[in-house]
Amino acid sequence: MYVCLCTGVTDGKIRDAIYDGCCSYREVREATGVASQCGKCACLAKQVVRETLSSLQASQSVMSYPAEFSVA
């Protein structure tokens, strides 16, 4: 899905930028150019960044548990 029509940035590109190491909306904007022109997509772009970061944090915390469970 296109998030930014001015620069052609999709939600997938935003996710890829985060998987590649961006950890804030500002970093994603600098890496992808999203919301760098008219700015109308900023709200949606921030939402995609927020959702991706929180699902990434959730999956990382799930991954860190199995070692503790196997010890118990």
CA-to-CA dists, residue 4 to 65, 69, 70, angstroms: 37, 43, 45
Q: With contacts defined by CB under 6 A, name the span among 1-9, 10-18, 46-54, 58-66 that binds ligand FES.
A: 1-9
By CB under 6 A, is residue 40 in contact with ligand FES? Answer: yes
Return d(Cα 45, Cα 53) in angstroms, integer.
Answer: 12
Q: With contacts defined by CB under 6 A, name the span among 17-25, 35-43, 50-58, 61-69 that binds ligand FES.
A: 35-43
Question: With respect to ligand FES, which residue has the nearer C-beta, 36 or 56?
Answer: 36
**Could you say which of 41, 48, 49, 52 contacts ligand FES (CB under 6 A)?**
41
